[in-house]
Structure 1
């Protein structure tokens, strides 16, 4: 994967800076985990870290965030290591970013810019590319001043007229806003298409189950294990960006639509949450959510809180929200990890290994039980010549038993409410109603 900030052959040499502000001081373990995660994000951007530094900041400096001595220290390290980029694990204002680039004579990228870069490199589908571009443009809109340092912004004009730099910035801002409007229209079409597809699944009574979780928790590995798909899997952050849907056939003829979604991360930029809302609607509209957690990660509790907060940001809250079942993944890496079966299916917590397959049968059984709660068992009496109704029972349900009485076929069949509603009764015999157009 290449980066937009690459300056030559091979990956760039970079420095990562971790400011620790006094007003948001973290515990040592939490800070270490956050710093490691940020460095892994930089690795995912195909860069080579030559130095990673932690700086306590008593009070953020408006123009540079860091103190003067800290800025000078990084400048020396940039020169020593010939670093092309400095990644700062903290949001930077446009002014701070511009000033640091001048002081360090290197490209400066904050946390939001880094995540946007990774998303831009990983998006594959047209929808994913559109969403990343929208997020990037919204991010860049407030940073146009950085691109025009060579123009005369100091010299004003008469009345309402600005200098040539100001005119150029306004032109760029206008072009970006036009492009944003076009992208929003395209994504609205995507949203309508997804809504139509979901309506079609609901008419066919196919429930949707969405996999959610912190990035690199193993969602795509589990998705492949359950559906025998070939979704891209890698031990890296944000390996999956584009949503994937597959039909999952379960024992007893039950079936559901399984959705693999983008992983969440601490302080996921709001530009991305907004842009990916069309994709994340698969989570919002899901009938059941499987929250995949990395049980081997010491920060799994904090990661779970990030997932819950992001779901809340998406509006997946309240009585109408889909139920959530927690899956403790990577059981093969944790000794003594066992499942917990609560009084209800939703209060259960399953220990699984998507990689080795441990606990997968137990998960399928739980899904079958959940589906069974939503299913109806019909006791039908069909005319033996009514092949149409019999074929429908085989296609849309599970035949539990069958026998014949006086030219009448008696059968018990399990199917969803929408399919069950298609049958009517005339005297002692049932029949399939004509579909309404």
Structure 2
């Protein structure tokens, strides 16, 4: 994996082009949003986007993902840039590519090819700090690489000569050693994966022991799309110093803090952010991280309300939570970044239907409060807006859960009313 993607962290920013399909399932607007996110991913990895390419199609070609004409257009653009002294280092595709597609696209474009999955894995490898995160990322990388090993041995096809061969492409003398080396690499990767899984099992066991030793405290987990402000929020609520940055996947390791609101202690954990098309390798590898979500008593679903497509991001998180078996847990939606929300007021005589762009924050708040029966709140963690209201809401929810889970340990609440105010 490291040989395929390397780290895009050189002194000169690598220059890339982005590629995506427009289909019946993914219209032009949706494709543009996905490419915006892909560009942000590339920027997070340290690459500068030069141009985007899209093609309308019924679906991806099993051979080259794109049609031949579009591939030729991209190749000609890359060649023109090179002639002008501006080298294009890589092409990034918004969908996961098969080994066959990767091999054929590379032959056409003559630049390094990444797909969305390999780019995300590369960012995770850059962000991993602890032994746990590094182990989980390496396992995911090996799972991704295993079915693509054949592509790594295409250089054998270009070698001339060999023991017992006439030197032609595909001759027996070359084909045999290539297959032998391929099988050897496959065994190495499978053995490495088995070792990593054993290490993760040990990590899971240790973390399970840690969770069991945390005492009779309600567990609250922050979940949400990546880059919605979860780390900023946990810093604010716990007065800690968790790394927070305006980049995707700034947090990989689960952070757990003990927080006290009005004499009510509970555990608050920050978790890795979700994203569209999150690689299945990562979902399975990050089991120990996601176990904090599975074992939480209450989920705070943090949403970037200023993002133009925040409703789709909510659906992505909801689907991921359902896949984890957490859809039935108590959830409070925390709409963050209300300070960054922008809208254009409609003219009084404008009878066109309201859109996301011309709905005020007040209207949006009333709509969602009614839809969720009050199980949501609008805040700005950065500007500390409405934080006291969030604390009160959290107190009420955690108090209710604590009484249900530990009915004989209600002494914590003697001096406080239902709203969390001291008597």
Is the Cα–Cα contact under 8 Å of residues 331 and 375 in structure 2 kept in the other structure? Answer: no
Q: CA deviation at 1:148?
A: 1.1
Secondary structure class of the residue paired with 1:24: coil
Q: Are positions 1:118 and 2:123 aligned together?
A: yes
The reply to whether residue 147 of structure 1 matches residue 152 of structure 2 is: yes
Matched with 1:76 is 76
TM-score by length of 2: 0.82
Alpha-carbon displacement from aligned partner over 1:301-343 (angstroms, at most 9, x marks no partner): 11000000011111213xxx42111111111123534756979
Is structure 2 residue 237 aligned with structure 1 residue 210?
no
Counterpart check, 1:358 vs 2:363 = no
Counterpart CA distance in 2 for 1:191 and 1:346 is 37
Q: 2: distance between equivalents of 1:376 and 1:124?
A: 38
Equivalent positions of 1:26-425 (< 5 A) are: 26=27, 28-81=28-81, 82-151=87-156, 154-156=170-172, 163-201=176-214, 204-251=215-262, 253-317=263-327, 321-334=328-341, 336-337=361-362, 347-375=374-402, 398=412, 400=414
Q: Is the 8 A contact 1:151 1:164 kept in 2?
A: no
In structure 2, the CA distance between the partners of 1:190 and 1:7, relative to structure 1 (3 Å rule), is closer
The answer to whether the 8 Å contact 1:19/1:88 transfers is no
Q: In structure 2, how many angstroms separate the alpha carbons of the residues matched to 1:244 and 1:209?
A: 12
Let me know the Cα RMSD of the aligned residues: 2.7
Shift of residue 371, structure 1, vs aligned partner: 2.6
CA deviations 1:133-167 (Å, max 9, x no partner) are 0000000001111111122693448xxx9600000
Q: Is the 8 A contact 1:324 1:346 kept in 2?
A: no
Q: Is the 8 A contact 1:30 1:299 kept in 2?
A: no
DSSP 3-state at the match of 2:65: coil
Between the aligned partners of 2:319 and 2:111, the Cα distance in structure 1 is 35
- The answer on whether the counterparts of 2:237 and 2:259 sit within 8 Å (CA) in structure 1 is yes
Partner secondary structure for residue 272 of structure 1? helix
Residue 16 of structure 2 aligns to a residue in which SS?
A: strand
Give the conservation status (yes or no) of the 8 Å contact 1:7–1:84.
Answer: no
CA distance in 2, matches of 1:172, 1:137: 11
| Cα distance in 2 for residues equivalent to 1:375 and 1:23 | 48
Q: Residue in 2 aligned with 1:404? A: none
Give the structure with the higher percent helix.
2
Deviates more, 1:75-84 or 1:136-145: 75-84
CA gap of 1:346–1:126, structure 2 versus 1, over 3 A, is: farther
Give the superposition deviation at 1:344.
12
> Are residues 346 and 171 of structure 1, via their aligned partners in 2, closer, same or farther at CA, if it must alter by over 3 Å?
farther
Report the count of equivalent residues: 374
Task: Provide the rounded CA distance (Å) in 2 between the counterparts of 1:146 and 1:231.
Answer: 40
Deviations 1:402-431 (A, max 9, x none): xxxxxxxxxx9xxxxxxxxxxxxxxxxxxx
- 107 and 244 in structure 1: CA distance in 2 versus 1, 3 angstrom threshold: same
Q: How far 1:96 moved relative to its partner?
A: 0.6
User: Any idea what the Cα deviations from partners look like across 1:158-203, whole Å, max 9, x if unmatched?
Assistant: xxx96000000100000000000010011111111111112112xx
